[in-house]
Each structure stands twice: as C-alpha cells, then as structure tokens.
Structure 1
Amino acid sequence: MIKIFNHYLHRRTLQQIFFDLGLVIIAVMAVVIWKGEDLTAVVSLLGHASLLSLGMLVINSTLGFYQRIHNRSLNQSRARAALSLLLAVPLTYTMFSLFPQSTNRETLAMAAMVGFAIVLLHRVYVVHSMPQSMMRHRVLVFGTGPRAALVGKTLKNEDPHVDVVGYYASPNEAESEVSAWGILSKHKSLTDTALELEVDEIVVALVERRGGSMPLRELLDCKLHGVRVVDVATHFEKTKGQIRLDSVNAGWLIFGDGFSQGGLRTAVKRLFDIASALVLIVLTLPIMLVTMLLVVLESPGPVFYRQERVGFNGRLFNVIKFRSMRTDAEKDGTPRWAAAQDDRVTKVGKFIRKVRIDELPQLFCVLNGDMSMVGPRPERPYFVDQLTRQIPYYAVRQSVKPGVTGWAQVRYHYGSTLEDSAEKLQYDLYYVKNHSLFLDIVILFETVGVVLMAKGSR
C-alpha cells in the first residue's frame, strides 16, 4: 500500500494507472513520429494525447476497472469494457477535432482507439487473471485469537495478491480461533520465523497486549531487518479503508496522524464544493425539470421534500430532495428507515431513488453551505440521538460537513439497522481522519460508477 494525500492506494493500482496513461500516449505519438512531423507538432500533440489519456482514466475509474476487489464475472467485465470503448469514441474524435493538426486526424483517432482497445483488453485480463501469476505480498499475523482470525479472513477476502504465511501465537493467548494448520511453530523466535519465511509485513493482532504478550525486542528486530510491522487498527485502515470500532481506542485516534481540519483545507474544499455543485446543476437542470413534472403528474403534493437533518457540529438544517414517497409516509409521526421494498415509495419515486435523481436538489444545500459534495451522509436527529448513545465515536462524523455522497456510500450498501450504521461509521471515520481533495475526487468518480450500476439504492 502507498499513502497518497492521506489515502491508501495499492501499489498495483498505481502501476495499472500509469500503464494505461502511457500506452495511449505512446500509441498516438508513434503515429506522429512515423508520419515525420516537426517538433512543434509533436510537442502540441503530446499535450492532446495526455488529456485524452486522462479522459480514458476517468472513464475506466468510473466503471470500476481500478478497484482491487470485485465480484464481477468475465462477461460483466467485458460489458464494461465495451461501454468504456463506446464512451471513448466521441471523446477521441472531439479532442482531435478541437485541435486540428497537419497530421491526418482520422489516423490519430484510430491510433488512440487502438491504444484504448489494448488498454481495455489488458484491464479485463488483469482483473480476471490468477493472483499466483503476480507479485505476492507475504504477511505473518502475530496472534491466534479472534482479532487474528478476523485479520486473516480480511486479507484473504480483500486482497488476492497477499499470502498469509501463518499465525504466530503470543505466549499469553489461552485460546486459538484460527485453523491449527496455520499456526507456526514456536521453536523458533518471531524474528527467525519472519526472516526464514521471507515475510514482508507483520500484523500485530492481539486482544491483550499487557503482561509480556508483546515481544517488543523481536518486533523491533523484524522492523530493523526491513519487515513492516503494523497494528491491527492500521491494518484495517490501509486494507479496507475503514477504522474498525473493535480494534481502535481513543489513544490511537488522538496520537495518530490525520483528523486535520486546517483553514487551507476548509477553503479548498469550499471552493471545490461551489465549483462542482454549479457545474452539476447546469448539467442536470433538464433532468431536474422533467423529474419535477413527473412527480406532480403521479401524485398530489409538493415536488420537494424537506426534512430536518443533523449537520456540521450538530447544527440542524433542512435537507431537500425530490419527493419520492406518498405525502402520508409517516402519518403516525414515527421516523422509520427506508426498506428494500418500501410500499410508501411512488412509482416515479422508485425510479429516481434507484438512479439517485432524488438527491440532486441537495446541490443547492451545497451552495448555501449546509452540505459538502463529499462527506458523511446527514441523518435525522431522532436516529442521531439513538446512534450516538449506542455506537462509540458516532459523534466524530459531525466534525465535518455532511455530504451529498461519501466514502461509506461507495463502500457499503444502504443500511437500515444498528449494525449497518456501525459498519458505515467505520468508513465515515476513515474519511474524517484522511479527507483531502484527492480523496473527494476519488469518491466522486466512484459515485458515478455506483449510480450507473444502480448499486445500493432504496
């Protein structure tokens, strides 16, 4: 894992991105050089090819080609590749028509499309190739208890490029919750075991660290020999993009890095919010007008639905959505979570909720400063009071402005239970700790993919 602007990215993801960027540029520049163009044309087209590569990167990111973990079939990946190529055609021809050169534009466009096709073929192959054919990352888990079992399960499920070489038991662990075959012999020291197995990383996953459970000298020796040593909280932060409530403590949150709320970051985020909200309002205005008409035609009542939510620092504000339920949805006055097959939802409402059109009026909440483009989703006061009492650190999510979309929304399905709220909070805590403009852009790209695939809507 590599940390870029406080956000963890897998090393292989960066390799894929640079490969894709470079291949399209090389394909276009090869044609220019083959045609014998002068230096001025070469330099000019290099900029155009770079912009074209970035456009292709945005398309592929939106369609989820750079996600490490996926459950897509080969046919689904092929369908996404075909859609990506379809979107790339108008982008390519528009790019070269806006910047005419002496070289034949048709030839350049065809070269770019060949580059795109090779990128997509390679991307589908990479996603579905066997991990054994790739560079492996060898991990030793220190511990055999419940946390160690959870770490091993997470590594096997979340990162196909990791080999869990085994579990090294702490001297004070009474019970084991991992398979006996995975427990390493204690006849050798932790340092000798790590070096013999050529371990790249040790994850310390102990429930109890006191009373001599932690061989600090041996862990230090491992680190001095180039083996990375991380605690279980850091492991989940970099592997799953979440801060797990069952493995974190107040000291780790206080003394660790992150949770920066500087004035510069606040100013940059606000400028980004205003600019992106204005652009999206202009682009989606026809959709909003049609939606308003359909809502009015289907059922009597207001077009917009206003509801009190908890925002930044616990301040209350009214969130605005297109009305997707009947006007008597909560006639008994008791707030309820939306269900998977909620009979309160209208026919138009079912569609606009599926493709997230009902959320578009919240762009105006962004403009007036109540919300941000990216942040934890705002909840109703009734639920916030309940969740704050029942889930530790829940109030921390209110230290940033709520968002139209968020890290939890692109990483976890819609939640309607206490357990779902706790799971989503772990992603919200990651965002609050590591938020940056870079992470905001990543989330917006992934949001487009979530909307296109209609995932997690209710």
Structure 2
Amino acid sequence: MLINPNILYYSNIQITILAGVIAHTLGFFFFRRIGNLPGVAAAGYIFPTFSMSYGLVYLVIFLFRIDYSTFQAAGSLTLSILWYFGLNILSRHLDPYSLAVVPGGTVDRLGEIDGVNWYWLDSPDTVIDRISGVVADLRADLSDEWERYIADRALSGTPVYHVKQISESLTGRVKIEHLSENTLGSLNPNQAYLKIKQAIDWVAALAALIIFLPMLGLVALAIKIDSKGPVLFRQKRMGYRGNVYQVYKFRTMKINAAVGDEKEEAITKAGDARITHFGQFLRNSRIDELPQAINILRGEMSWIGPRPEALVLSNWYEAELPFYRYRHIVRPGITGWAQVNQGHVAAVDDVLEKLHYDFYYIKNFSPWLDVLIVFRTIRTMLTGFGAR
C-alpha cells in the first residue's frame, strides 16, 4: 500500500506546528519566571531561554523518531525570539520600571539601587502617573495620612511593596544577622527539589566524566608538562550540613610556594604569583573545576550552590560573621548565585556580602534560579569574570 507523499508532508507540518506551539509556551513560561529574578536584563535571556525550550521539545521528538520539518522549526524559533525582542524594546520605551517611595523607616537605602526610576514622595497628596508600584517600610511608625495613602494605592490596584521585599528582589541579596530577623519562612529549603536536584546532579556528573574523559586526560598531561607536582589538588572543605569533605580540582598552582600561614595559603588573590601559566587558563575557563564531578557523584556537592570554603577559612568566617553556618543547609556548588554576581572574594567584609547572596539563593531555592545561574556561568566562562 502506497502512502501519498502529500499526506506525509502535511503531517510533518502539523507536528512541527504543534511542537512549535508547545515550545513557545514553555519558552514564555521559562522567560517569565527567569525575568522576575533580580538583576536580569530580560533581553539578554530571550535567546538562551527560547533556545532551551525549543531544544527540549525537539529533543523529545528526535528521541521518539517523529518526523518534522527542520525549516519550519527553525523559523518558529526565530520568530519567537524576534517577537520577544520587539516586545521587550517596546515595553522598556513605553513603561519604564518606576517606583514611588513613602518616606519613613529604612527606605533611604533604596537610593543606592540602580535600574529603577525612584520617585520620593513629599506628601500623601502627591500624584504620580504611570508608576509600577509603591514602596514603604511597613514596619515603621507611619502617620495616619501615609497609612491611608498606602491603603488607597492598594485598593486602586497599584502594587505595594515592603522595603525589604523590593530590596531583595532588585539586588538578589538577603540580609540575615540573627535568627529573630529571619525572613526566609521555613529555615529548610524545598526538600522535594533538593532530592530531585541531587538526582539530576548525579546523572549530569556521570555523563560529564564519560564525555570529557579524553579531554581530562589531555589536561592532566598538560599539567604535568607545565609544572612539577600532582595533577589533582586536594583540600579539606566545609560541606553539606557542616560535614567536612575533600574536594578534587585540577592543580593550577606551583607546589611548596611560601605565602605565610595556613589562612593566607588558602586565599587566592588577584594576580596570585603561585598560579601557573596553564593554571590561569584552567581557572578562567573553569576547567579546573571538572574533577569535582567526583564529589557530586559521592553526594558531597552539587553543580549549583554556595561555594565551599577551605576548612580554615570557614572556621574563620564562622567566628567573624553571625549565622554563617546557615549556608551549609544546601550542598555546596561548583558555581552559584554569589559567584555569578560577585566573583571570587576572600576578605571578611566581602564574604558578608557573598553571604547575603547565598541566603537569597537558599530563600529562592528553585529550578528557575538554577537555570539563570547556568546561563550566567556560561557567560562567566566566556569572559573570565569571577575566576581566580
């Protein structure tokens, strides 16, 4: 029995159209979730987000050996990307993000945050057109007039934000110095996603070791040729739930280089003379981190999470910074929210800021934040930001 080629052709078109609709819907959903995270320049994530959604859908189609039109699929992806680029440009031109600030309490610190048109209200009678919301310190002792103003704005449909809420959403940092000041809700992150993430980490780590095994062998050979010493660097670090473990990385420094005490030896500074020529390349490209896939297989680490610190540094930070140990509530990661926003730091003042990023990650522990970190890590690998 012969099948009419035209029927097969139109069947392929219908399958491709259906797949395009599903991929576009997924891309819209991913883009909205990622776009709501702090510090996201939405236009910069349109291409990777829709490429990911279309890639996932057409990977499923490929695995099930379903015929589809490659030309139509590529056209659908291109149109989706161009459409959202156009919408993004139009929305930024017509509706810039603007917030009105009610005086009182701790709202003064909002002026340090860029990327928002701040309107500082002088009187409850002030009328500002086309604002995205109103910000107030809802814990402050506001006058009756300002409380009525806030209530009226909420009744009119204008979003009203607490100063700490808007500060966290714009900076990607959560400040916690005492348990009594905790705004995380439950101190434990989402346990279901914690288990799902561990399974994904394990599969990805096994696949990475298998796929990159030839390259890892070449890197090991290059390290031996470049400088004397072992191929792998081993170090005791503080890990999940405060358990100490041994991390594995490719060695990037000269051995037996005198730097001072144990604490100074654990700190890598900008332009560190101990780093070898080939080691600098490994750090900038993050290839030196790949052996940590072994730690992931052993359940000691994740691909994404707070960066694990050397044991001596962790003990030092715990003595200096209140609530530091809380960052060990999730598995440490090869990359993380603090790394892609701040880069590598060691001074206590900088570590406090990094701790605020870690707390934000724990509070917003989700696949959407992890996907954003993956995108930014790729950018870090291409630019070298944060690598030392």
Give the TM-score range, shorter chain. Answer: 0.7 to 0.9
Match of 1:133 in 2: 93
**Are residues 387 and 114 of structure 1, via their aligned partners in 2, closer, same or farther at CA, if it must alter by over 3 Å?**
same
Match of 1:271 in 2: 199
Q: How does 1:179-190 map to 2 (within 5 A)?
A: 184=122, 186=123, 189=124
Deviations 1:306-330 (A, max 9, x none): 0111112221111110000011135
Match of 1:407 in 2: 337
**Are residues 307 and 354 of structure 1, via their aligned partners in 2, closer, same or farther at CA, if it must alter by over 3 Å?**
same
**CA distance in structure 2 between the aligned counterparts of 1:296 and 1:213, rounded to whole angstroms:** 73
Q: CA deviation at 1:300?
A: 1.6
Q: Which amino acid aligns with 2:192?
A: L
SS in 1 for 2:306: coil
Q: CA deviation at 1:122?
A: 6.2
- Asked if 1 retains the 8 angstrom alpha-carbon contact of 2:135 and 2:162, the reply is yes
- Asked if 1 retains the 8 angstrom alpha-carbon contact of 2:340 and 2:377, the reply is yes
Deviations 1:64-116 (A, max 9, x none): 9x99656x9xxxx8xx98xx99xx99x999x8899574xxx8xx444544555
Greater CA drift, 130-139 or 358-367:
130-139
**CA distance in structure 1 between the aligned counterparts of 2:62 and 2:202, rounded to whole angstroms:** 31
Q: Which amino acid aligns with 2:107?
A: A
Please state if 1:202 is matched with 2:141: no
Match of 1:45 in 2: 16
Q: CA deviation at 1:441?
A: 3.1
Q: CA deviation at 1:331?
A: 6.0
**Are residues 322 and 216 of structure 1, via their aligned partners in 2, closer, same or farther at CA, if it must alter by over 3 Å?**
same
**Are residues 279 and 134 of structure 1, via their aligned partners in 2, closer, same or farther at CA, if it must alter by over 3 Å?**
farther
Match of 1:285 in 2: 213
Q: How does 1:196-345 map to 2 (within 5 A)?
A: 197=129, 199-205=131-137, 209-210=140-141, 215-244=146-175, 250-253=179-182, 256-257=184-185, 259-261=187-189, 263-330=191-258, 332-336=260-264, 337-345=267-275
- Asked if 2 retains the 8 angstrom alpha-carbon contact of 1:306 and 1:319, the reply is yes
Match of 1:360 in 2: 290
Q: Which amino acid aligns with 2:242?
A: G
Q: CA deviation at 1:234?
A: 0.8
**Are residues 371 and 338 of structure 1, via their aligned partners in 2, closer, same or farther at CA, if it must alter by over 3 Å?**
same
Please state if 1:167 is matched with 2:120: yes
- Asked if 1 retains the 8 angstrom alpha-carbon contact of 2:97 and 2:132, the reply is yes
- Asked if 1 retains the 8 angstrom alpha-carbon contact of 2:232 and 2:251, the reply is yes
SS in 2 for 1:193: coil
Deviations 1:335-363 (A, max 9, x none): 33212211100111010001000000111
Greater CA drift, 305-314 or 261-270:
261-270
Q: How does 1:419-438 map to 2 (within 5 A)?
A: 419-438=349-368
Q: Which amino acid aligns with 1:253?
A: N
Q: CA deviation at 1:396?
A: 1.4
SS in 1 for 2:234: strand
Match of 2:3 in 1: none
**Are residues 293 and 401 of structure 1, via their aligned partners in 2, closer, same or farther at CA, if it must alter by over 3 Å?**
same
Q: Which amino acid aligns with 1:44?
A: I
**Are residues 225 and 122 of structure 1, via their aligned partners in 2, closer, same or farther at CA, if it must alter by over 3 Å?**
closer
SS in 1 for 2:217: helix
**Are residues 291 and 214 of structure 1, via their aligned partners in 2, closer, same or farther at CA, if it must alter by over 3 Å?**
farther
Q: CA deviation at 1:425?
A: 1.2
* Partner residue of 2:380 out of 450, 454, 458: 450
**CA distance in structure 2 between the aligned counterparts of 1:39 and 1:345, rounded to whole angstroms:** 60
| CA root-mean-square deviation | 4.1
**CA distance in structure 2 between the aligned counterparts of 1:454 and 1:343, rounded to whole angstroms:** 18
Match of 2:111 in 1: 152
**Are residues 353 and 38 of structure 1, via their aligned partners in 2, closer, same or farther at CA, if it must alter by over 3 Å?**
closer
Q: Which runs of 5+ in 2 are unaligned?
A: 1-5
- How many residues align? The count is 370
**CA distance in structure 1 between the aligned counterparts of 2:334 and 2:251, rounded to whole angstroms:** 16
Q: Which amino acid aligns with 2:321?
A: I
Q: Which amino acid aligns with 1:235?
A: I
**Are residues 250 and 199 of structure 1, via their aligned partners in 2, closer, same or farther at CA, if it must alter by over 3 Å?**
farther
Please state if 1:346 is matched with 2:346: no
**Are residues 118 and 371 of structure 1, via their aligned partners in 2, closer, same or farther at CA, if it must alter by over 3 Å?**
same
**Are residues 49 and 274 of structure 1, via their aligned partners in 2, closer, same or farther at CA, if it must alter by over 3 Å?**
same
**CA distance in structure 1 between the aligned counterparts of 2:64 and 2:192, rounded to whole angstroms:** 36
**CA distance in structure 1 between the aligned counterparts of 2:332 and 2:246, rounded to whole angstroms:** 12
**Are residues 67 and 355 of structure 1, via their aligned partners in 2, closer, same or farther at CA, if it must alter by over 3 Å?**
farther
SS in 1 for 2:263: coil
SS in 1 for 2:247: strand
Q: CA deviation at 1:244?
A: 3.5
**CA distance in structure 2 between the aligned counterparts of 1:287 and 1:381, rounded to whole angstroms:** 30
Match of 2:103 in 1: 143
**Are residues 320 and 221 of structure 1, via their aligned partners in 2, closer, same or farther at CA, if it must alter by over 3 Å?**
same
Q: CA deviation at 1:260?
A: 3.7
Q: Which amino acid aligns with 1:351?
A: F
**CA distance in structure 1 between the aligned counterparts of 2:254 and 2:331, rounded to whole angstroms:** 29
